[in-house]
Copies of this chain bind each other. A is one copy, B any other.
Amino acid sequence: MNEKKLNFDSSCPAPINKYDKIMLAHGGGGLLSNKLIQEVFFSEFDNKYLNKMHDGAVFQTEKGKMAFSTDSFVVQPVFFPGGNIGELAVYGTVNDLACCGAVPKYLSLGFILEEGFAISDLQKIVKSIKFAADKAGVQIVTGDTKVVEKGKGDKIFINTSGVGFVKNEVNISPDNCKSGDKIIVSGTIADHGICIMSLRAGLEFETEIVSDTAPLNHLVREILSVSDKINVLRDPTRGGLASTLNEIAASSGRGIMLYEKEIPVKEDVKGVCEILGLDPLYVANEGKLLVFVAEEDAEKVLETMRKNEFGKDAAIIGEVTGSDDKIVRIKTSVGTTRIVDMISGEQLPRIC
């Protein structure tokens, strides 16, 4: 493994051992996920695209710059307030492409269905996929369907992959963040994860928390048209804001400072977080954008975001410090500063 790769230093769990078995936490988006990805996948597939740890790959072809991304969705339950696995699958890949600075164009759909799954439910999901694709302005151009025996799957898993095109002058990448960059989030955090966890905990009748699943590509197009000083774009999904920021800090070699009181969190989301003992910084979002932009353009980008339906609660929540310690810190509401680590284990399995 080369030096460019992530380094989560002292808090890293022990290296993967050949007697180890896959644990839920290997899919949680935290430290164990990163271990698996680096020790099992990257050690074999070492190449410049993967090593960027981006949401997708951007490559120069003789025909221009393209982005390509993939995501599998195993969310449980399949239907939830604000959406279902179908919209999630479309917006997930659309957003990954948008965070590469691409205009998403074409999507593929791969279904793994469990024997016995109701076709009426499949039809509902397919309608949501169509709705979401239209809303994002992408086309479903190819697909595949597999069926596994009852008890060998869980209702429905969906893979979406997508391609998009990147303007030559756009250069967005997690290792691009620069000292002094302002960090903007497009709205309230933790909505999706708390929506799903409330459902599982049986709290859904006491709250009105809905998933934030949404397409971010139009928002990205708008901010790229007003500023050429946007360096990093990411949607903080699995592992939440904390994990995403730790990844960016590690891959860029920068330190990050957050301001707790600026981070938008809905009151009822805060409430459920307290009941369930969760920190919203680590909870998944499915329709939120993180923007790293040079200070001089930050206000302009913020204003542009607030005019978009998916950015109306946008806020500047932190900045890239002058340090090269790769640590994410937060200035708390009470004025103290603490380190925001990457999560080690599994907080919310099958959140997306």
Distance between A107 CB and nearest chain B CB, rounded to angstroms: 9
Q: Could you tell me if A115 and B24 are in contact, using CB atoms closer than 8 angstroms?
A: yes
**A349: B residues at CB distance < 8 A:** 147, 149
In the assembly, what is the distance between CA of A157 and CA of B159, in Å?
11
CB-contact partner of A37 in B22, B112, B145, B147, under 8 A: B145
Closest to A33 in B: B145
Closest to A352 in B: B146
CB-contact partner of A18 in B59, B70, B71, B119, under 8 A: B119
Closest to A156 in B: B22
Q: Could you tell me if B24 and A147 are in contact, using CB atoms closer than 8 angstroms?
A: yes
Residues 158-211 of A at the B interface (beta carbon under 8 Å): 159, 161, 163, 165
Q: Could you tell me if B22 and A113 are in contact, using CB atoms closer than 8 angstroms?
A: yes
In the assembly, what is the distance between CA of A20 and CA of B122, in Å?
10
Residues 16-47 of A at the B interface (beta carbon under 8 Å): 16-28, 33, 36-37, 40-41, 44-45, 47
In the assembly, what is the distance between CA of A111 and CA of B17, in Å?
20
Distance between A101 CB and nearest chain B CB, rounded to angstroms: 15
CB-contact partner of A68 in B25, B40, B108, under 8 A: B108
Copies in the complex: 2
**A68: B residues at CB distance < 8 A:** 106, 108, 141-142, 161, 163
Residues 123-173 of A at the B interface (beta carbon under 8 Å): 123, 126-127, 129-130, 133, 139-149, 151-154, 157, 159, 161, 163, 165
In the assembly, what is the distance between CA of A325 and CA of B320, in Å?
68
Say yes or no: is A216 at the interface (Cβ < 8 Å to chain B). no
CB-contact partner of A126 in B41, B63, B69, B146, under 8 A: B41
Distance between A325 CB and nearest chain B CB, rounded to angstroms: 28
Say yes or no: is A350 at the interface (Cβ < 8 Å to chain B). yes
Q: Could you tell me if A139 and B26 are in contact, using CB atoms closer than 8 angstroms?
A: no
Q: Could you tell me if A47 and B140 are in contact, using CB atoms closer than 8 angstroms?
A: yes
Q: Could you tell me if B126 and A70 are in contact, using CB atoms closer than 8 angstroms?
A: no
Say yes or no: is A57 at the interface (Cβ < 8 Å to chain B). yes
Distance between A247 CB and nearest chain B CB, rounded to angstroms: 14
Say yes or no: is A262 at the interface (Cβ < 8 Å to chain B). no
Q: Could you tell me if A154 and B152 are in contact, using CB atoms closer than 8 angstroms?
A: yes
Could you jot down 21 A-B contacts, CB within 8 Å? A16-B119, A18-B119, A23-B147, A27-B146, A27-B147, A40-B119, A41-B145, A45-B126, A47-B140, A49-B141, A50-B143, A57-B141, A61-B63, A63-B63, A69-B142, A148-B350, A149-B349, A149-B350, A151-B151, A159-B159, A163-B163
Smallest CB-CB A-B distances: 10 pairs: A27-B147, A63-B63, A161-B161, A70-B108, A57-B141, A159-B159, A49-B141, A152-B154, A72-B110, A57-B142
Residues of A within 8 A of B (CB): 16-28, 33, 36-37, 40-41, 44-45, 47, 49-50, 54, 56-57, 59, 61, 63-64, 66, 68-74, 76, 105-106, 108-120, 122-123, 126-127, 129-130, 133, 139-149, 151-154, 157, 159, 161, 163, 165, 349-350
Known A-B contacts: A50-B141, A70-B143, A159-B161. Give 16 more (CB < 8 A).
A19-B120, A23-B115, A26-B113, A26-B145, A45-B140, A59-B106, A68-B161, A70-B108, A70-B161, A72-B110, A73-B146, A74-B112, A76-B152, A110-B159, A149-B350, A151-B151
